[in-house]
Structure 1
């Protein structure tokens, strides 16, 4: 249930990139301007998500799940209604805040339910990746009904997601949720490793967000049709769903750090193929790049929680929010470079990003399993800090 709700929320992260070609076509925005929309969705998230993470370390706030889901949907629903670029940015930013508020609490609840299982967290992440994958299809269907003025149709996933959150709220209200929370693991914080991991996620985020922002336009230029852009985004996001599931399985055998390290190396080669290989083979390299960047995704969430076990919400907020959002901050720079050179030249710079992530993972240890200690169990009583 939580994984499906995650899919409904992450539709709105994918929807921003999926709307980019329509804003270019209907409003004649240039590359730098549309990348500013991605910036709007990411900038507030980069600050808000860690803040919500810190709050969920102190108080459990399951009510955030339906409220933030609705907020994410309402922002995107209104983004296409005004011809004002300022209002468009404001609505996209509102959606970004909703998505940011959702992730730390949902990651805390997912860890609670999974008891720290890598595979379970991978399936939770897969829900979000499926939301990404569905975003370009849903956006294309809505835009076909009348262009940007049909963005209110995109509020439907938020309504579904909010309803699906209600059984989760009821389950968390039961006493067995209290018992499960008391078993949540706590150990010694490894701040140095957490910082290195966060930097690795930053570079991974720059590669993925930059690619998701411009891959539709790149595919249109390479293959020569607007449908090619929608298909490219769909493959990019669907490959991420496959990568998340594969990551949890591989980590059970070889460990999270080793699997992530090799995945980033593979992503370097695959991303080079995206940029330089012409024709329909582009889709194979998009899928390989997406898998390479997403195999480590859920593993990085559990690694961050194990490196910072006394602050699971903060760790989740930084890994899922601050570091990921920095990719959005870099997108306007990629857009400016594309405007002054070519889109292919700008995308070439992204090949370096997973290589930098690989370098940081070479320095990371595999954390030992932490011991058990209490966590917050309701909306009002603060959790006591571990000794």
Structure 2
């Protein structure tokens, strides 16, 4: 069923959710989960101020959440490939929120690490299964591309909203108020329940019968994974150092750096949605390939264009790097149709984590030379992604997905 198609006329209107409604609920739920990915870094200043943690201590807290979440996602993906576990959506959402909510309770560093790690496990368990469910409710073809784009947008918005949420709660009352941060998780868990009931109805009606998965194209999936790693290095490197770089290049104090980050994240939100619409007309591989060419030129522009024009280059960089984001998830699923959970876990988690490991190298190079020099290698990252996409085929997708709900 296309994403914008209403329920069949011979079914009562309230008898089932339309694909559009299901994707909307999943997207908002995704936003509620990814709040907790961004909340860890947002809590760092408060952990330093109230508990006196040093740089090494807070780095351990961030690592406990991000690395565990990213590396564990393929493991949960492999698990859901063997046994579809839609109930993981509400359970993992609550775990993600509970860990962050409890990390401000008590002064024990060990318990803080444990609670943050629990949140990371919840986030890791959520993404592969939620991506599988989003694919099921959105369908294949153009509607599936648009559906995954909106689903990805929800996560991007949740991540970007995390600092505002933490500032509103913890900034007013300190770490003792972190239990209030569980509220988005409770909302997200409730939002996914109607979608799970719809999947259960489809399975009971025989709509989820298995039609047989296609053949895995592992070589293409490996190339895609390397392209995602290169994309992650470019985006993570820029998001880590862009604020400081913009302040140095433009002046204007921290406001200039904050504005650059806002443009970077806002461009990502636009790119996520735009990618699905463009892919419907020109295909995912072609759209991703051209987007990475745009990103290559734009990243170079960030380093050489003077004055306020820097912001235009940042916006083009963000759009160029985010247009392929959701397309890469569905491409990975289509390259590994027999292991959709594993494909989702790798494209959403593991490759992003590997890309993030480059940030300390960029920082070390900046200490030894200059920040501008250290950012120069980032120009090559989207170019490598473009080169890898030139070798990728557009997978042939069956008219209807055959996974079980």
TM-score by length of 1: 0.84
Any idea what SS the aligned residue of 2:357 has? helix
| Deviation by residue 1:162-206 (Cα, 9 ceiling, x = unmatched) | 221222232233245663332677211111001100110111112
Structure 1 residue 362 displacement after superposition: 1.2
Instruction: Find 2:354's aligned residue among 326, 329, 338.
Output: 326
Instruction: Find 1:105's aligned residue among 122, 129, 133.
Output: 129
Task: Tell me if structure 2 keeps the 8 A contact 1:39–1:328.
Answer: no
Aligned counterpart, 1:63: 87
Aligned counterpart, 2:239: 212
Structure 1 residue 219 displacement after superposition: 4.5
Instruction: Find 2:269's aligned residue among 241, 244, 251.
Output: 241
Task: Tell me if structure 2 keeps the 8 A contact 1:136–1:230.
Answer: no
Question: Where do 5+ consecutive residues of structure 2 fail to align?
Answer: 1-24
Task: Tell me if structure 2 keeps the 8 A contact 1:49–1:103.
Answer: yes
Instruction: Find 2:226's aligned residue among 199, 208, 220.
Output: 199
Task: Tell me if structure 2 keeps the 8 A contact 1:7–1:132.
Answer: yes
Structure 1 residue 350 displacement after superposition: 2.5
Structure 1 residue 112 displacement after superposition: 0.5
Instruction: Find 1:47's aligned residue among 71, 79, 82.
Output: 71
Any idea what SS the aligned residue of 1:180 has? coil
Task: Tell me if structure 1 keeps the 8 A contact 2:61–2:113.
Answer: yes
Instruction: Find 2:282's aligned residue among 254, 268, 291.
Output: 254
Task: Tell me if structure 2 keeps the 8 A contact 1:142–1:153.
Answer: yes
Task: Tell me if structure 2 keeps the 8 A contact 1:182–1:374.
Answer: yes
Any idea what SS the aligned residue of 1:237 has? helix
Q: Does 1:274 align with 2:302?
A: yes
Whole-angstrom CA distance in 2 between matches of 1:206 and 1:365: 24
Structure 1 residue 254 displacement after superposition: 1.3
Whole-angstrom CA distance in 2 between matches of 1:17 and 1:349: 25
Q: Does 1:164 align with 2:191?
A: yes
Question: Where do 5+ consecutive residues of structure 1 fail to align?
Answer: 378-387
User: CA, structure 1 residues 175+296, in 2 after alignment: closer, same or farther (shift >3 Å)?
Assistant: closer
Whole-angstrom CA distance in 1 between matches of 2:292 and 2:355: 16
Task: Tell me if structure 1 keeps the 8 A contact 2:35–2:158.
Answer: yes
Structure 1 residue 303 displacement after superposition: 0.7
Whole-angstrom CA distance in 2 between matches of 1:87 and 1:233: 32
Whole-angstrom CA distance in 2 between matches of 1:25 and 1:279: 35
Any idea what SS the aligned residue of 2:394 has? coil
Greater shift, 213-222 or 48-57, is seen at 213-222
Aligned counterpart, 1:126: 153
Which of the pair has the greater relative contact order for Cα pairs under 8 Å at 6+ separation?
1
Whole-angstrom CA distance in 1 between matches of 2:162 and 2:247: 18
User: CA, structure 1 residues 174+15, in 2 after alignment: closer, same or farther (shift >3 Å)?
Assistant: same
User: CA, structure 1 residues 216+48, in 2 after alignment: closer, same or farther (shift >3 Å)?
Assistant: same
Any idea what SS the aligned residue of 1:351 has? helix
Aligned counterpart, 1:383: none
Please, what is the CA RMSD of the aligned residues?
3.1
Any idea what SS the aligned residue of 1:271 has? helix
Any idea what SS the aligned residue of 2:380 has? helix
| Deviation by residue 1:75-126 (Cα, 9 ceiling, x = unmatched) | 3334566777666554443332221111111111111101122111111111
Whole-angstrom CA distance in 2 between matches of 1:224 and 1:21: 23
The structure whose Rg is larger is: 2
User: CA, structure 1 residues 284+96, in 2 after alignment: closer, same or farther (shift >3 Å)?
Assistant: farther
Task: Tell me if structure 1 keeps the 8 A contact 2:203–2:404.
Answer: no
TM-score by length of 2: 0.81
Superposition pairs of residues 1-387 of structure 1, within 5 angstroms: 1-19=25-43, 38-79=62-103, 89-116=113-140, 117-146=144-173, 151-176=178-203, 179-182=206-209, 186-219=213-246, 223-277=251-305, 280-370=308-398, 374-377=402-405
